[in-house]
Structure 1
Amino acid sequence: MADSKAVVRVEHPDIVLTETVTHDPSSKVRSVSEAGTDPTSGKFFYHITSSDFRQFEEGLRNDRTIGEFERVIETGDEEAIYSFVYTDEAKIVSPVISAANGVILDMENDGSAWILTVWMPERTGLASLWDYAQQNDISIELLRVNEYASLGNTNAGLTDSQREALLVAVESGYFEEPRNATLSEVAADLDISQPAASGLLRRGIKRLIISSLMDDSEEPE
């Protein structure tokens, strides 16, 4: 089974460090993959870039997802490695990725959500991440994946409405980065409400993930 590299957008106010990077917009976060994705270590390690670590740490102290933190080592004038202990309120995607033997290659906060570049040795790992997000009310979008079924060549188990919504979204530039169309514009093109368009896209993308990245024997019931 082939490996996969995907870019996903996950959003929830209780995803770890969301409050901190909102408090310090100059900060950038990258997990230290050798230690940061170990779900049994108790501590999670991140490489942090910030123009003002005092502001970053002030954000940490007010971040309800962070119980303890330590600046382990400074690797440059504006770079350091931190360790974090999460609170029970924190929603954590890295252990799910680790459990699938995956690695977070890059992570960036766009102001309200995290953009994760994830490598998975087994294609089913991405479906596990999707299921975890849905179970925890985390908004998740698939932005890019290196193996993706052609909408024009297969229905992938999509309903006609899901297929139409995805094609309209692709053609309008909704999946581009930055986006060339908003969800409301996609909904207007489909002549449906914005919540209805969002639901069609979410269900259609999940169906594509299952169809494209999982063998028939592995498809969930």
Structure 2
Amino acid sequence: MTDIKAVVRIEHPDIVLTKTVTHDQSSKVKSVLEAGTDPTSGKFFYRVQSADFRQFEDGLRNDHTIGEFERVIETRDEKAIYSFEYTDEAKVISPIISTANGVILDMENDGNGWILTVWMPDRTNLAPLWDYAEQHDIDIDLLRVNEYASLGTTDAGLTDSQREALLVALETGYFDDPRNATLSEVAANLDISQPAASGLLRRGTKRLIVSSLMDDSENSNGYDRERH
């Protein structure tokens, strides 16, 4: 079996936050992958860059896909982290990818559309995403796809502990959206502390992203230091 990394562009007015980013063309929105979803509150976290957060929030108030929202953190460089709750009208792609045993590595807006970088255990696992898009009249384009050796056998810069932690998290549903397992449950399965599990997942995810998204010359430039 060969893992793949696919870069996909999707567009539909009912996809989460589309109306907001169309209203605020200066905004750039990326999901906070390490935060994921709080399974009890249903909150989703995003990094937002905007020249005018008042305009961005005006867009949120008039966005039929967004319910409650909160600006959690704001920095001085026109960036902030927001938490959002989705409405029933929102079309959400992440559960479809999770059901297909995939993981979203990156997600950012592109005008009226969204660019998703997705890891899948096999090319055929992309089929449910295309089926969902066809059923809901979502425009979808495959921009590129790369194949890699399986996570279970490839090095990808991972230590044995990082690989084991990632596989346990994947199998228990920690990467599902919404999550079906907590960090403490992953830690219990690994028989380690919760902070230790968090560190392994964070560093392992970083290594996978570096391995998948950068070429060999970039991989070797400064990233080999974090191997523990």
Shared fold by TM > 0.5? yes
User: Which residue does the alignment assign to 2:174?
Assistant: none
- Say if 1:17 and 1:122 are closer, same or farther in 2 by CA, change over 3 A: same
1:156-210 alpha-carbon deviations (Å, 9 max, x no partner): xxxxxxxxxxxxxxxxxxxxxxxxxxxxxxxxxxxxxxxxxxxxxxxxxxxxxxx
Aligned pair 1:12/2:48, yes or no? no
Which amino acid is the alignment partner of residue 106 of structure 1? D
**Contact 2:21 2:112 (8 Å CA) reproduced:** no
Q: Using the alignment, how far apart are the partners of 1:21 and 1:59 within structure 2?
A: 7
**Contact 2:69 2:85 (8 Å CA) reproduced:** yes
**Which runs of no fewer than 5 residues in structure 1 stay unpaired?**
148-221
Aligned residue-pair number:
148
Q: Give RMSD over aligned pairs.
A: 2.3
Shift of 1:65: 0.5
User: Which residue does the alignment assign to 1:102?
Assistant: 102
1:124-143 alpha-carbon deviations (Å, 9 max, x no partner): 33222112212222111111
User: Which residue does the alignment assign to 1:93?
Assistant: 93
Q: Using the alignment, how far apart are the partners of 1:105 and 1:117 within structure 2?
A: 5
Aligned pair 1:48/2:48, yes or no? yes
- Say if 1:65 and 1:48 are closer, same or farther in 2 by CA, change over 3 A: same
Shift of 1:32: 1.2
Shift of 1:10: 0.7
**In the TM superposition, what are the counterparts of 1:21-100 in structure 2 within 5 Å?**
21-36=21-36, 42-100=42-100
- Relative to the length of structure 1, the TM-score reads 0.60
Q: Which runs of 4+ in 1 moved over 6 A?
A: none
Q: Using the alignment, how far apart are the partners of 1:142 and 1:89 within structure 2?
A: 25
Q: Using the alignment, how far apart are the partners of 1:75 and 1:128 within structure 2?
A: 38
1:46-80 alpha-carbon deviations (Å, 9 max, x no partner): 11111111111111001011011111122453111
Greater shift in the superposed pair: 18-27 or 74-83: 74-83
SS of match in other structure, 2:34: helix
- Over the matched positions of the two proteins, sequence identity in percent amounts to 80
**Contact 1:37 1:97 (8 Å CA) reproduced:** no
- Relative to the length of structure 2, the TM-score reads 0.59
- Say if 1:40 and 1:127 are closer, same or farther in 2 by CA, change over 3 A: farther
Which amino acid is the alignment partner of residue 8 of structure 1? V
User: Which residue does the alignment assign to 1:146?
Assistant: 146
SS of match in other structure, 1:146: strand
Q: Using the alignment, how far apart are the partners of 1:108 and 1:137 within structure 2?
A: 21
**Contact 1:6 1:142 (8 Å CA) reproduced:** yes
Q: Using the alignment, how far apart are the partners of 1:55 and 1:12 within structure 2?
A: 21
**Contact 1:71 1:82 (8 Å CA) reproduced:** yes
**Which runs of no fewer than 5 residues in structure 2 stay unpaired?**
148-228
**Contact 2:33 2:106 (8 Å CA) reproduced:** no
Which amino acid is the alignment partner of residue 83 of structure 2? S
